[in-house]
Amino acid sequence: MNNYGFVRVAAATPALKVADCDYNTNEIIKIIAQAGQEHISAIVFPELCVTAYTCGDLFLQSLLLEEAHNSLARICEATKNSAVIAVVGLPVEVSNRLYNMAVVVGGGRILGAVPKTFMPNYNEFYEKRWFSSSEELKEKTTTLCNDQIPVGIDLIFKARDFSFAIEICEDLWTPIPPSSISCLNGAEVIFNLSAGNETTGKHIYRKSLVSQQSARCIAGYVYAAAGNGESTTDAIFSGSSLIAENGSILAEGERFSFDSKVTVADIDVERLKNDRLKNKSFSLSEYEVLKKIEYRKVSIDTNPAADALSLKRFVSPTPFVPANDSSLNDRCDEIFSIQVGGLAKRMLHTNIQKAVIGVSGGLDSTLALLVLVKTFDKLNIPHPNIIGITMPGFGTTDRTYTNAIKLMRSLGVTIKEIPIAEAVIQHFKDIEQDIDTHDITYENSQARERTQILMDYANKVNGLVIGTGDLSELALGWCTYNGDHMSMYAVNTGVPKTLVRTLVGWIADTHMDEASKAVLEDVIDTPVSPELLPADKDGKITQKTEDVVGPYILHDFFLYYILRFGFSPAKIYFLAKHAFAGGYTNEEILKWLKTFFRRFFSQQFKRSCLPDGPKVGSVNLSPRGDWRMPSDASVALWMKQLDTLKP
């Protein structure tokens, strides 16, 4: 069964009764059974969940300890015919010391136990009164339920699809949590059994801790805290459950519930591995002091789940675009500022006071022009020093031409109109090209004529030609080699098409007067087209890019997961089906995914000689930085896998 690197995990908050091991165990076993039905690979329960956390001095009663031991045997038996790995908390005695333990069970066996290291000893929590720290544990093994098992904080559990380690509650709140060292030694997911109480503002801080620790460790982090049923004599427990992956909260459970709750999410372990592979600081060799701890690996073999994974996590169809309104303004402002900052540096370095840009009335040239204007404002250069050249040709429509003129007027730049038809017709005569043959020569001759005009006019006025092409076009090779492919500084090369549209909309809303905003909104609504083929009889665009190469929203999705994580075509297809369910059919997704890979490999030669341009995000195609691929690499391996995929 191929789950494409995803592992389904859960954090459970069972309804409990203090010191009632039978009741608590029944709830735990019910939840484990439910987890099996939902194909959960591993589930973590709260700290000391078998007895409840708030037993106080009852932890020193032999009967409670004996019943906790018996309950563990029952829980172990409940996993005998299950694929679920369960991590439960209970007090465990080892060599006349009582430890707050996390015990891992699976396949009907006890697999290992991890003691808590850091003991809170303040306010209403006095754990040192009852429990010893892991630092006092000298033994490497102990006997539980008649089995000799490994015990210690130096355990990493190796399941079929992932490796995990454990820390308990307070461990996370320390300067160097044990999970930091565990992850450097190979753990990909951390399970935290907790019983942190609730106070005003604490949940926000706790959530931040979980998120940040998952980011520092490039790991999944599954946090389950005590909830309903714990004693409320001096503290309230909310049952906070959190699942994070590399800095992002994937799922959050309901707090203050009176019922048992299970929070479920799918962690992408392959994605984590890829990020660790790229991050050269993520290496134990960099931390000499930590090498002293020699970790032991515990192999886990449970019955495999019967069915393939049905993904339980949100996959954004637009991974380059900020996910919500609260972050949209900040993210767009930052991206726009990066573009402006890059161009400003180039203008200062060259000591040039003028810029030339081709303005078509399309999205890309619009964004590039807006970046130019903002840059000139930053450098106190007057807008007329920007020469916007519109170059109507055989396919130019009234809509795009009008928008180009209106936009340039509203921004106060110098407008220059240079029609290209006569020059291209003369060129056709020179190279013996039939003007009625609308082939690639017909199209590219126009693109190269426009680039020649821009370059020569820039020389005439001592200005820089500002490139307009975006990241998506570079990925697909949807640019004319030495045509729109070339410029003196390209401000959009780090911005994919879906983000270009978002940025133009954001600028319209936040930076423009009503007249300019109306123009930008019409630009956004205009179909994407190079306008190199004649318009129809009504003067409307006939050459729509997305009809030829496919929807940019799909291609940007493919690009993100290929470059950012190095995923296989099969996994990208799996993710795309989930992200675009109801929007595109499986047949459409697969068709355009094949198109993407064919074009991405065949068009590398264009990316190998790109002009300079600013990187704005985690994905970029500059041959000098993020993407160094030979121009003659074969796509056969990727197409072979694509041919095995079924709609």
Buried b (16+ CB within 10 A) or exposed e, 356-381: bbbbbbbbbbbbbbbbbbbbbeeeeb
- What distances in angstroms separate CA 270 from CA 83, 161, 244, 555, 570, one per listed residue? 20, 10, 15, 21, 13
How far is Cα 574 from Cα 645, in angstroms, rounded to an integer? 10
Task: Point out the catalytic residue in the list 76, 169, 183, 479.
Answer: 169
How far is Cα 262 from Cα 260, in angstroms, rounded to an integer? 7
Contact 294, 50 (CB under 8 A): no
171 Cβ partners below 8 Å, 6+ apart?
116, 117, 118, 177, 178, 179, 192
Cα dihedral: 530, 535, 536, 537 (round 10) = 170
Residue whose C-alpha is closest to residue 276's, from 213, 225, 192, 219? 219
Residue whose C-alpha is closest to residue 43's, from 79, 80, 15, 77? 79
Task: Point out the catalytic residue in the list 76, 116, 167, 183.
Answer: 116
Task: Point out the catalytic residue in the list 47, 127, 170, 443.
Answer: 47
Of the CA atoms within 13 Å of residue 248, those in its CB half-sphere come to: 12
Which helix (H) or strand (E) is 214 found in, with range? Answer: helix 202-216
Kindly calculate the radius of gyration of the chain based on its CA atoms and give it in whole angstroms.
31
How far is Cα 358 from Cα 88, in angstroms, rounded to an integer? 65
Question: Three-class SS of residue 130?
Answer: coil
Instruction: Report the greatest alpha carbon distance in the chain.
Output: 101
- DSSP for 438-486, written as a single string: -SHHHHHHHHHHHHHHHHHHHHHHT-EEEE---HHHHHHT-S-TTTTT-
Of the CA atoms within 13 Å of residue 341, those in its CB half-sphere come to: 9
Residue whose C-alpha is closest to residue 7's, from 170, 179, 240, 164? 164
24 Cβ partners below 8 Å, 6+ apart?
14, 16, 17, 49, 50, 51, 52, 71, 229
Is 169 assigned a catalytic role? yes
**Owner of token pair 């929807």:** 551
Is 270 assigned a catalytic role? no
Contact 367, 329 (CB under 8 A): no
Is 609 assigned a catalytic role? no
CB atoms within 10 A of CB 615: 17
Which helix (H) or strand (E) is 10 found in, with range? Answer: strand 6-13
CB atoms within 10 A of CB 389: 22
CB atoms within 10 A of CB 288: 8
242 Cβ partners below 8 Å, 6+ apart?
11, 206, 207, 210, 221, 222, 223, 249, 251, 252, 253, 263
How far is Cα 345 from Cα 518, in angstroms, rounded to an integer? 31
Residues with active-site annotation: 47, 116, 169
